[in-house]
Amino acid sequence: MAKYKNYDYSQSVLIPVSLEEQLMPGTLEFAIHTLVDTRMDMSIFDDRYKNDETGRLAYDPKILLKVILLGYSRGLISSRKIERACKENVTFMALSCGQQPDHSTIAEFVSSMKDEIMPLFRDVLLVCDEERLLGGTFFALDGCRVPSNASKEWSGRISDLERKKEKIKKKVEQLIKQQMEEDKGDDDRDSGGSSGLSNREKQIGRLQKQADRIKTFLKENSPKIGKQGREIQSNITDNESCRMLSSRGTIQGYNAQTLVDDKHQVIIHGEAFGDAQDHSLITPMLDGAKENIKEIGKGEDYFKGKILTADSNYHDPSNLKKCDEEGLDAYIPDKRFRKRDSRFQNEKVPMRPKVGRFTLKDFVYNVDEDEYCCPNGKALKLRSKKAVIDGVIYKVYTADKEGCKSCELKLKCMMNVEGKGRTLNVPIGHVPGNLSKAMADKIDSEKGRRIYSQRIAIVEPVFANIATHKSMDRFTLRGKIKVNIQWLLYCMIHNIGKIMAYGFT
C-alpha cells in the first residue's frame, strides 16, 4: 500500500524573510533599489504633498517608483497586477518594504508624473554617462507603433461621427417602437419574454449613452487637421492618438520613438507621438536629446560631427535640413535606395504579382511636338515644364482621361484604372544644392552602405527588449502626456538594465 506524507492546511507556518536579503547585488531589483535611493532626486515630488501638519501619511514616491519600474520590467503594466504583486511576490514585498499600495494610488502616481518624468529619466542617463556606457559617436533613431487605450471603431472624420450618431439614434427609435408594440400586446408574458424586454431596455440604454457620448465629443471638438492641411480622423476615446498601420494591422495608437547610442544601446531620448508618419519627427527627437545631454553636463555641440542613422521613413527635406543645421553626419536613405543597390537586384520580396507595367522606355518621344506616344498610339501632352519631387526636376506629360478609360492596355499602364489618365514624369535634373540628392549619393557609396547597415543592430534590439521581453504591447493610459510618461518609464527601465549589466551593480 502506498504511503504519503501527511499535510494539514489548518496549521500555521512562520516564514522568516529578510527583505534586504531579497535584493541581491547583480539583479535588476537591486539596481532599481540602489538608483532610486541614491542616484535619483526624489525631492521633486515633495511639493505635491501638503500633509506636513495635517492629513494622512502618504506613500513614499521612492516606494511607488520602485514597484512600478520592477512591474514594467516584468510585463506588469496594469496597476492592479502591480498591486497584487506587492501582496504575493516576495521581491515586490522587499522593494515596497512590506507596504501594499492599492491600484488607484499606483495609477494616479504614474498619470501625474508630467513634470517629474523627464528629470528622473535624465538622472538615470547621467549614471549611464558616469559609468561610461555612452559612446557619443554613433546614434540610431527609430520608432514602433503601439496600440493605445482607445478603439479604432470610435474613429472617423466629423462627418463620419455625425452619421454614426444618427445611425445609433435610428436604432434606438426602432427598439423603442418595438417595445411599445409589444406593450400593446398580451400582458401575460412568460418569464422569457420579461427577460427579453429587460435586455432590450439595457440595449436602448447602452446605445443612448453612445449617442450622447458622440454628441458631447462633436460639441467640444473641432475637425482634426493633419500636416497636409486636410481633415484626418478623430477618435472619441483618445483624440491625441492616431489610426496607423503596424505589423499587427491597423491600430489606434501612438508612434513611440527612441534615439539610441550605439555603444551599449542606451536610450538618449524617448517620446511618444500621435503621428503615424516619421517624416517630421527628427526635429523634436533631436531637440529633446540635446536638452537631455545638456542637463547631464555635455556641451551644445555634442552631436556635431556625429553619425546618425534612420530608415527611409525619415527621409524628408525638413529632417535632412535639421541634420544639416546640427552638423550631423546623417545616413537616411530614400525609398528607392535598394533599387539602386546591386546587392538587392535579385532579392525576392513578397509582393503581389507584377503585371509588367509600362515604364518610360515604352513611350516614344516626339521632338517636334514635345510629346510622348504611348504603346497604344495615344499622345501624352506636356502639362508642366518644371515639377519638383524630392529634389528631382521633372517634365510632366499626361494623357486624355477618357482615352485611357477605353484603352485595352490600361491594366498594364495605370495603377488605378478608374482614376485620371496616365501621367509620365520625365526627370530632367536636380535642384542645385539639394539635400535629398546629396543624401542619395552618400547612401549609395560604399562607406554609406557600410555605416547604414549598422542601424538595425543598434536600435532594433531596444524595441525587442521593451516590446517582447518586457511585454510592452499597449499603452494603458490616454492622452499624449500620460502615454509619454509610460513610454519614458519603459525607456528608463531599459537603461537601468544596461547599468545593471555593464555598470556599478
Q: What average pLDDT is seen over the chain?
A: 88
Q: 379-389 and 392-398 as β-strands: parallel, antiparallel, unpaired?
A: antiparallel
Q: DSSP letter string over 261-283?
A: ETTT--EEEEEEES-S--TT-HH
Burial class (CB in 10 A: 0-12, 13-18, 19+), 4: exposed
Assigned fold of 128-149+245-344+437-490: Nucleotidyltransferase; domain 5 (3.30.420)
Cell of 23: 535584493
Q: Please give the pLDDT value at position 282.
A: 95
pTM of the complete model = 0.82
**Whether residue 192 has pLDDT greater than 60:** no
Q: Which of 198-212, 238-252, 349-363 has the lowest mean pLDDT?
A: 349-363
**Pick the residue with more confidence: 503 or 300?**
300
Q: Please give the pLDDT value at position 186.
A: 52
Q: Please give the pLDDT value at position 504.
A: 63
- C-alpha 307/C-alpha 320 separation (Å) is 13
Q: Please give the pLDDT value at position 132.
A: 94
Q: Please give the pLDDT value at position 191.
A: 47
- C-alpha 498/C-alpha 310 separation (Å) is 22
Q: How does pLDDT run across 220-276, given as a tens digit for each residue?
A: 888 888 877 888 889 999 999 999 988 878 899 999 999 999 999 999 999 999 998
φ, ψ of residue 9 to 5 degrees: the values are -70, -15
Does residue 135 contact residue 72 with C-beta atoms inside 8 Å?
no
**Whether residue 305 has pLDDT greater than 60:** yes
Q: Please give the pLDDT value at position 426.
A: 87
Q: How does pLDDT run across 158-171, given as a tens digit for each residue?
A: 988 999 988 988 88
**Whether residue 366 has pLDDT greater than 80:** yes
Which residues, including other chains, have CB under 8 Å from residue 291's CB and lie 6 or more apart? Answer: none
**Whether residue 350 has pLDDT greater than 70:** no
- C-alpha 414/C-alpha 377 separation (Å) is 16
Does residue 407 contact residue 423 with C-beta atoms inside 8 Å?
no
**Pick the residue with more confidence: 344 or 433?**
344
Average pLDDT over residues 401-425: 79
